[in-house]
Structure 1
Amino acid sequence: MNKEFLWGAALSNVQAEGAYLEDGKGLNVYDTLEIRFETGQNTLSDTSVAADHYHRFKEDIAHMKEMGFTAYRFSIVWSRIHPNGDDGLVNEAGLAYYEEMIDELLAAGIEPVVSLVHFDMPDHLRTEYNGFMDRRVVDWYAGHVAVVAGRFRDKVKYWITYNEMNTAFYGPRLVAGAEKPEGMGDVPFHALLTAHTQLAHAKAVLEIKKTNPDAMVAGMDAYASIYPLTCRPEDVLAAQMADDFRNNLTFDVMVNGEFPSWYTKFLHNNGVELDLNAEDMQTIKEASKRLDYLAFSYYQSDTACAPAGCADRLDFENKMLACADRNANPYVKANAWGWQIDPVGLRVALKALYERYHKPLFIVENGIGIDDRLENGKVYDDERIAYYQGHIRNVTDAIDYDGVEVLGYLAWSPIDFLSSHKEMRKRYGFVYIDRNDDGTGSLERFPKKSYYWYKKVIASDGTDLEDDIEY
């Protein structure tokens, strides 16, 4: 790694903070989210407390400093700054809170990496406007970004406009504050969300650059390397289509400033037009010229196969948009939640992204959910260590053998907190939080075995990955 390589971890504040109506914060789409249970889940945790990161962030940052972090990605909760989102009213207490957090990070020698829109749209914008389905929400978001970027222009260098923007169609309520209107088909819904989230991203890029031209700004995708289930040609084609819809479309527009021909043809064949005018497209083009790097999360790979019973080619494409007929990869293992563990897929992702876009890449989420057990104040999470060993080795290989420019690696996550399905049992952190889904627990922090292992990894700049920690 080069000496500027950034090591650390990341979390989503809306899932960690708690204090969900404290100091002027408004409800957001995560607070009100109604979810379908994941594998083995039978209860929801209360977002009013979560991991109590709101009151304990200094303690949590002290752990990050002890581990040797040089970067930490977190999110500024939209509804903590603009509780309603549509009235221009700014909650100063929210800005002051994040400024104190940023100052604490800088004092610890940790580079803040700030995410905007990370499951935290004000719920008022969802209930009144259907989130990013309404163009007015795009402008209110741009105004929110202007306030946040203006406040922290001298303290934050790295910005991410929109968390996992490519998942808006697949998780619309959480990611975009939207629900598909009754009677609307998948294709027009996808087109409208794609157009408006791209415009929101572009306006955010320009607002941040207007405030600080030297800021490093990125868009972000959730990336999963997609393999054909078999070498049958139809499965290869299906994998290419799935890759385009789920991985490439968002970054194609962000980097090139225009929609790829395959997507505009797909919309045309379905009788759908993008809800964007010439001025909007100019905004998207200008933002593409100002984009500094690409950020992405990577947890697992996926497979694709040709959907059965297609009436014609268009039906084939429409089924691929909806992620039809997905299958587990028989060559990789999975965690308890069925997420496939594929370290080589991260190298595949890095190589594919760098060759396609020629932009520096930043891995801003990578981790594994485990049902960790605290015994006598300790957590032996060798499964997590093994996961990170494989993935970090493949990051190193992508740099050393494929020539990929990687800015840094941020694990998910520094501490335990609620999963996107509001579950505490599915733990990702290096630090165990004594909190259970039923609300019991002291909230005391306990470093896991992986905490000390990752500290050693950072100190060695990724060269010492052996699981030989005395714990």
Structure 2
Amino acid sequence: MTRSLKGEIFRNMARCFWIITFISLICTKGSEGQASGLQRFPDGFLLGAASASYQVEGAWNVSGKGVSTWDHFAHTMPERIADGSNGDIACDSYNKYKEDVQWIKSIGLDHYRFSLSWTRILPNGFNTPVNQDGIRYYKSLLEELKAANITTVVSLYHWDHPQILEEMGGWTNELMVRWFVDYAKVVFDNIGHLIDIVITINEPKLLCQQAYNSTWKAPGKVFNDMGHFFCVHNILKAHAKTWHMYDQEYRATQNGMIGFTTPVRGWVQGEGVTEETIERAFQFDCGWIMSPIYTGDYPEVMKTRIAERSALQNYPFSRLPEFTDEWKKIIKGATDFFGLNHYTSSMPTFDPAEALGTFASDTNIIGIADPSWPSGASGWLHIVPEGIGNVLRKIKDTYGNPPVYMFENGVSDKGEIEDYVRINYYHDYISEILTAIVRDGCDVKAYTAWTLLDNYEWEAGYTERFGILKVDFDSPNRTRSEKLSTHWWREVLRTRTLIDAREFTSHLRQRRREGSTFEN
């Protein structure tokens, strides 16, 4: 018997073991239902996983691709990356996309969210010339996903725009609005018919704060505490123009949905937390991006506070730009869904320094973390499941219960195969989401795990791992392999039931005591 055949037999035996185990778990629960921890997903609810071009593709300078902001940032300022690394190869998904699709199919995921590299399609940033090799790559990936009956979710932009456009100001230059719309049109003309859900721009708030008001992310510029406001202002315009273009020129034939996704930090009660601090934190976090979409303008508290602080700083104007009446009309309503990314929470309280006359921030809010909260490998990522339920209920009440598509949620570790923390995180957060749907009537349509693969985590390099699949970055082949969370997800998707993570791990530990692992 060949080694590969033996391996296949062992894998099939392992799969049978887990199927029998979970059938047993479900059957023994019987009619106890949700009270015992069993929660089923609503009919039509989408479960998927995500990635982003710079973080997984590699092939940074082949087949006509141009230089992106992240290519430039990681190459010229490696000291800003935790391990000095870059995404030149990353997961090598440019060459291994067929294998990645097979993994997606084998796990049973409903959808796959990935992003396009602007410079792989338009190497010079502008809409001519179009790089046909880039178009062919994305067309092949989309066709592979379609053949596997996987819903395609495509982000036009996930933080890696052409460096040549950055040298002209990037997102602080209003011309970026036109350049982005031109890029989007090339995408729709060539591969739009293969895309089910379009995300125009990923996380405008986080990008703008960390790229134009700090040195954390490419391009790493700080513009007098106002670059991030100009950046968001232009991104909202670019998104709205793109939405209208799709709505008017492509929707009837391509039949997709289009919107964008924003990160929203959750909150929980604690000392100093009030309805006022929660509302203030929410408006500066979520409202900054979503209020123009749903109400036509920035939140009043933002406009007032930033104008006051700008005057204290001796600016002759507010650092927060104003929309004209024409732009308000263009932006308002320009989305088919509320795209939500969520990872963590805090306890928002007023900054005590301001009571002493020190105006340290526009928000006057500090987010406190309880030292008892567990966390992932990322120092900022505290595990507080309750927070996501609070966010969903707040979105429902504030914006009229829009359809919410959760496009990122996950936790980091150091790359453990038996990633107990990850499956417990997924279980507890998804449980809160299902409760918000069933008990509170929140209109949540999809959940997306961040991320499919261990990948390049921006300024953290390869020091933090979010994947439900392990990637061996020491291997020239960037070998993929299963983790415990891979098996957990496979059973969740097969049964369409939220499998209790603690019972799952309890059975695993019993197997280990018997001398086995989940691999055999």
Q: 1:449 aligns with which of 484, 490, 499?
A: 484
Residues 1:361 and 1:420: Cα distance change in structure 2 (over 3 Å): same
**Match of 1:352?**
394
CA distance in 2, matches of 1:390, 1:36: 36
Q: 1:372 aligns with which of 415, 424, 430?
A: 415
Q: 1:280 aligns with which of 314, 327, 341?
A: 327
Number of aligned pairs? 448
CA distance in 2, matches of 1:97, 1:209: 26
**Match of 1:75?**
115
User: Could you list the per-position Cα deviations for residues 395-426 of structure 1 after superposition, in whole angstroms to 9, with x for gaps in the alignment?
Assistant: 11111111111111110111111112252231
**Match of 2:436?**
398
**Match of 2:515?**
none
Q: 1:297 aligns with which of 309, 323, 341?
A: 341
**Contact 1:132/1:177 (<8 A) preserved:** no
**Match of 2:287?**
248
Are 2:384 and 1:342 equivalent residues in the alignment? yes
Q: 1:132 aligns with which of 171, 176, 182?
A: 171
Are 2:101 and 1:61 equivalent residues in the alignment? yes
**Contact 1:133/1:193 (<8 A) preserved:** yes
**Match of 1:222?**
263
Aligned 1:111-130 pairs, distance under 5 A: 111-126=151-166, 128-130=167-169
The alpha carbon displacement at 1:345 in A equals: 1.2
Q: Which amino acid in structure 2 is aligned with residue 230 of structure 1?
A: E
SS at the partner of 2:198? strand
Are 2:222 and 1:180 equivalent residues in the alignment? yes
Residues 1:311 and 1:382: Cα distance change in structure 2 (over 3 Å): closer
Identical amino acids, percent of aligned pairs? 26
**Match of 1:425?**
463
RMSD: 2.5
Are 2:139 and 1:99 equivalent residues in the alignment? yes
CA distance in 1, matches of 2:277, 2:444: 29
**Contact 1:71/1:111 (<8 A) preserved:** yes
CA distance in 1, matches of 2:489, 2:290: 30
**Contact 1:130/1:179 (<8 A) preserved:** no
Aligned 1:322-337 pairs, distance under 5 A: 325-337=366-378
Name the TM-score, length of structure 1 as normaliser.
0.88
The alpha carbon displacement at 1:260 in A equals: 2.8
Q: Which amino acid in structure 1 is aligned with residue 203 of structure 2?
A: E
SS at the partner of 1:340? coil
**Match of 1:167?**
206
The alpha carbon displacement at 1:452 in A equals: 1.2
The alpha carbon displacement at 1:190 in A equals: 4.0
SS at the partner of 1:205? helix
CA distance in 1, matches of 2:304, 2:287: 16
User: Could you list the per-position Cα deviations for residues 221-261 of structure 1 after superposition, in whole angstroms to 9, with x for gaps in the alignment?
Assistant: 1111134652366xx64443222112222111122233333
CA distance in 2, matches of 1:191, 1:435: 37
**Match of 2:495?**
460
Aligned 1:183-222 pairs, distance under 5 A: 184=224, 186=225, 188-213=226-251, 214-222=255-263
**Match of 2:297?**
258
Name the TM-score, length of structure 2 as normaliser.
0.80
**Contact 1:228/1:239 (<8 A) preserved:** no
The alpha carbon displacement at 1:42 in A equals: 4.7
Residues 1:455 and 1:21: Cα distance change in structure 2 (over 3 Å): same
The alpha carbon displacement at 1:115 in A equals: 0.8
**Contact 1:242/1:320 (<8 A) preserved:** no
Are 2:410 and 1:363 equivalent residues in the alignment? no
User: Could you list the per-position Cα deviations for residues 356-412 of structure 1 after superposition, in whole angstroms to 9, with x for gaps in the alignment?
Assistant: 222100111111111124xxxxx2112211111111111111111111111111101
Residues 1:421 and 1:308: Cα distance change in structure 2 (over 3 Å): same
**Contact 2:287/2:299 (<8 A) preserved:** no
CA distance in 1, matches of 2:292, 2:437: 26
Decide which structure has the larger Cα Rg and report it: 2
**Match of 2:21?**
none
Residues 1:361 and 1:258: Cα distance change in structure 2 (over 3 Å): same
SS at the partner of 2:227? helix
Q: Which amino acid in structure 2 is aligned with residue 50 of structure 1?
A: A
**Match of 2:68?**
28
Q: Which amino acid in structure 1 is aligned with residue 160 of structure 2?
A: D
Q: Higher mean Cα deviation, 134-143 or 2-11?
A: 2-11
Gaps of at least 5 residues in structure 1 are 374-378
CA distance in 1, matches of 2:211, 2:238: 15
**Contact 2:407/2:448 (<8 A) preserved:** yes
Residues 1:160 and 1:310: Cα distance change in structure 2 (over 3 Å): same
